[in-house]
Amino acid sequence: MAKNTESNVYTILFATGMVLVVGTLLAFLASSLKDKIAENKRIEKQQNILYAMGINENDESSVEFVSKDIVGEEFNKYITKQLVITGTNAVENDKAYLIDLKKEAALAKNNNYQRRLPLFVGNKDGKESYIVPVRGKGLWDAIWGYIALDNQLVIQGVYFDHAGETPGLGSNIKERFFMDDFIGEHIMDGDTFKGVAVSKSNADPKNINKTDNEVDAISGSTITGDGLAAMLKKDLKMYLPYLKTLKQ
């Protein structure tokens, strides 16, 4: 190499060239794969919602969604209504599941904005469930999920997911042993709203007591667990005015 790689001009040219090449490559790749990725995310949402209401292919301990090929069909079959709630007003909307909770939360910081809350009504074997999407903060990044409630506000099933919780610790919120604990838990204590706390001291590892508003925490993931409990409390509360009307 005859080039003087030490010179300033060369360094600047190299840096510019590299940024251009890498930038173009990544932008090209990202935009050409965008549609496919968006489609995958849409399918995943449907799978998650169905999972929460108990439509899945779980065996004893795994988490198995209904397969990609039939999820659209199953979604139309089991989700009877999709609602968008604004204030006390609920309107049907077939695209409610596509509402971006993150954007809504950001817009809601502006006081004039009336936040749109999506709610999915499912019907499995004649039993109705109301599936609430939730979103909050874990230790490192966002966590989110879907909570299926019956009309007595008892949890029928949940699905949680996360963007970057610690593998093997916080990431376990999407494992069966944790999610299954929520089934049957009450979010109300009599008439007061309590949510479900993730507790280290409930002395109920088998989770027999379903009315204590507590599930057993995961060792080593205190902040993820606290974030999850805070997420449930904050987001379920927004739906409370509407959910209470179901309780009659």
> How far apart are alpha carbons 185 and 204 in whole angstroms?
13
- Shortest Cβ distance from residue 101 to another protein (Å)? 18
CB of 15 to another protein, least distance (A): 6
What single letter denotes the amino acid at residue 151? N
Under the binding rule (CB under 8 A), the answer on residue 70 touching another protein is: no
Residue with smaller CB distance to another protein, 22 or 70: 22
Map the chain to HEC letters. Answer: CCCCCCCHHHHHHHHHHHHHHHHHHHHHHHHHHHHHHHHHHHHHHHHHHHHHCCCCCCCCCCCCCCCCCCHHHHHHHHEEEEEEEECCEEEECCCHHHCCHHHHHHHCCCCCCCCCEEEEEEEECCEEEEEEEEEEECCCCEEEEEEEECCCCEEEEEEEEECCCCCCCHHHHHCHHHHHHHCCCECEECCEECCCEEECCCCCCCCCCCCCCEEECCCCCHHHHHHHHHHHHHHHHHHHHHHHHHCC
3 is a site residue for another protein (CB under 8 A): yes
93 touching another protein, by CB under 8 A: no
234: tokens are 């904050």
Please identify, among the stretches 22-30, 49-57, 71-79, 142-150, the one whose residues bind another protein according to the rule CB under 8 A.
22-30
The window from 34-42, 90-98, 100-108, 111-119 that contacts another protein (CB under 8 A) reads 34-42
**18 lines the binding site for another protein (CB under 8 A):** yes
Query: Using the rule CB under 8 A, is 40 a contact of another protein?
Result: yes
Residue 130 carries which side chain, given as an amino acid letter? Y
36, 69, 111, 248: residue in contact with another protein (rule CB under 8 A): 36
Determine the distance from the C-alpha atom of residue 142 to the mean position of all C-alpha atoms in its chain, rounded to a whole number. Answer: 9
Closer Cβ to another protein, 30 or 106, answer by number: 30
Q: Which is nearer to another protein, 151 or 171 (CB)?
A: 171
Q: Which lies closer to another protein via its Cβ, residue 10 or residue 113?
A: 10
The binder of another protein chosen from 60, 61, 69, 190 (CB under 8 A): 61
Per CB under 8 A, contacts with another protein among 159-218 are: 161-169, 171, 205-206
Identify the residue among 16, 20, 24, 25 touching another protein (CB under 8 A).
25
Our finding on whether 27 is near another protein (CB under 8 A) is: no
Pairing state of beta strands 79-86 and 89-92? antiparallel
Binding site for another protein (CB under 8 A): 1, 3, 5-6, 10-11, 14-15, 18, 22, 25-26, 29-30, 33, 36-37, 40, 43-44, 61, 161-169, 171, 205-206, 219-220
